[in-house]
Amino acid sequence: MPIIHLPYTYLEELTGTDRDTIIERLPMIGADIERFEDNQTDVEFFPDRPDLFSTEGVARAMRGFLGIETGCPAYTVKPSGVTFSIDPKLEGIRPFLGSAVIRNVSLNNERIETLMGLQEALHWAVGRGRGKVAIGVHDMDTVTAPFSYIASPRDRSFIPLDFEEEMTLDEIMQRHPKGIDYAHIVDGFDLMPLIADAKDNVLSFPPIINGELTTVTEDTKNILLDCTGTDERAVMTAVNIICTALAEAGATIESVEVNGAPMPSLAPRTRRVSVDECVRLLGIDLDAGTMAALLAKMRIGADPAGEGFLDVTIPCYRADIMHDWDVFEDVAIAYGFDNFNAELPASFTIGSEHPVNVMAGAVRRIVAGLGFVEMMPFTLTSERVLFGNMQREPAKGALRVMHPISEEQTTVRTDILPLLMETLQINHHRELPQRIFATGDVVEGRETFQKIAAVSIHTDADFSEIYATADALLRELGLAYTVEESTDPAFIDGRRGDIIVDGKKVGVFGEISPAVILNFELDQPVAALELDLRVLWT
Amino acid sequence: MEELTYNEKRLMVVLNTVSEAEPAVIAGELNTTEEAVVQFAHLCADKGIATLERTVRVDYGLTDEGKQYSTLGLPERQVYASFEGEIPMKDLQAHPLARIAVGWMKKKGWIAIEKGMVKKTGDAPEGDDERALRDPAAGGDGINELIRRGLIEERESVSYRIAITPQGKQLVADGLDLREEVGALTREQIISGAWKDLNLRRYSVGKLPKKVWPGKVHPYQHLIDEMRQILLEMGFEEMQGSIIQSSFWNFDALFQPQDHPAREMQDTFFLAEEADLPDGWEAVRDVHEHGGTTSSAGWGGVWNQDKARQNVLRTHTTGLSIQHLTKNPEPPVKAFCIGRVYRREAIDPTHTPEFEQLEGIVMDDGVSFRHLMGFLKEFYARMGFENVRFRPGYFPYTEPSVEPEVWVDGLGWVELGGAGIFREEVTAPWGISTPVLAWGLGVSRVAMLRMGLSDLRQLYRSDIDWIKEYPAYTGGRN
Q: Which of B369, B373, B402 to mutate to test the interface with A (most CBs of A within 10 A)?
A: B369
ipTM of the complex: 0.91
Nearest CA in chain A to B461: A377
DSSP conformation letters of B289-311: HH-TTSS-----S---HHHHHEE
Q: Do A448 and B233 touch (CB under 8 A)?
A: no
Chain A residue numbers with beta carbons less than 8 Å from the beta carbon of B235 are 348-351
| Burial of residue A165 (number of CB atoms within 10 Å: 0-12, 13-18, 19+) | exposed
pTM greater than 0.90: no
The angle, 0 to 180 degrees and rounded to 10, between the axes of the packed helices A275-282 and A324-335 is: 60
Name the helix (H) or strand (E) containing A147.
Answer: strand A147-152
Whether residue A436 and residue B464 make contact (CB cut-off 8 A), yes or no, is yes
8 A C-beta contact, residue A350 and residue A307: no
Task: Go through A255-268 and write b for each residue having 16 or more CB atoms within 10 A of its CB, e for each that does not.
Answer: bbbbeeeebbebeb
The answer to whether the CB atoms of B265 and A402 lie below 8 A apart is yes
Query: Which residue in A has a C-alpha nearest to residue B262's C-alpha?
Result: A128
How confident is the model over B387-427, as pLDDT tens digits? 999 999 999 899 999 999 999 998 899 999 999 999 999 99
- Residue B392 has its nearest CB partner, among A30, A351, A400, at A30
The three-state secondary structure class of A339 is helix
B368: contact with A, CB 8 A cutoff = yes
Give me the residue from B340, B366, B369 closest to A379, CB to CB. Answer: B340
- The answer to whether the CB atoms of A282 and B368 lie below 8 A apart is yes
Is the backbone peptide bond immediately before B471 cis, with ω within 30 degrees of 0? no
Of the candidates B233, B373, B424, the beta carbon closest to that of A342 is on B373
A195 min Cα distance to partner chain B (Å): 25
Walk along chain A (538 residues) and give the pLDDT tens digit of each residue: 788 999 999 999 999 999 999 999 999 988 888 999 999 999 999 889 999 999 999 999 999 999 999 999 999 999 999 999 999 999 999 999 999 999 999 988 888 988 999 999 999 999 989 999 999 999 999 999 899 999 999 999 999 998 889 999 999 999 999 999 999 999 889 999 999 999 999 999 999 999 999 999 999 999 999 999 999 999 999 999 999 999 999 999 999 999 999 999 999 999 999 999 999 999 999 999 999 999 999 999 999 998 899 999 999 999 999 999 999 999 999 999 999 999 999 889 999 999 999 999 999 999 999 999 999 999 999 999 999 999 999 999 999 999 998 999 999 999 999 999 999 999 999 999 999 999 999 999 889 999 999 999 999 999 999 999 999 999 999 999 999 999 999 999 999 999 999 999 999 999 999 999 999 999 999 999 999 999 998 6
Helix (H) or strand (E) holding A21, with range, is: helix A19-25
pLDDT value, residue B156? 84
Calpha distance B54→B38 (Å, rounded):
10
Reduce the DSSP state of residue B3 to 3 states and report it: coil
The whole-angstrom separation of Cα B228 and Cα A357 is 10
Q: B354 and A400 in contact by Cβ < 8 A?
A: no
Whether B423 and A323 lie within 8 Å, measured CB to CB: yes
User: Tens of pLDDT along B167-215?
Assistant: 989 888 888 887 888 889 999 999 999 999 888 888 888 889 999 999 9
Residue B101, judged by CB atoms within 10 A of its CB (0-12, 13-18, 19+), counts as buried
Q: How many CB atoms lie within 10 A of CB A88?
A: 10
How far is A374 from A108, CA to CA, in rounded Å?
Answer: 63
Q: Do A423 and B391 touch (CB under 8 A)?
A: no
Instruction: Provide φ and ψ at A200, rounded to 5°.
Output: 70, 20
Residues 425-444 of A with CB under 8 A from B: 426-427, 430-431, 434-436, 441, 443
CA distances from B185 to B3, B4, B194, B201, B210 (A): 20, 20, 10, 10, 21
DSSP labels, A71-89: S-----EEEEEEEEEE-GG
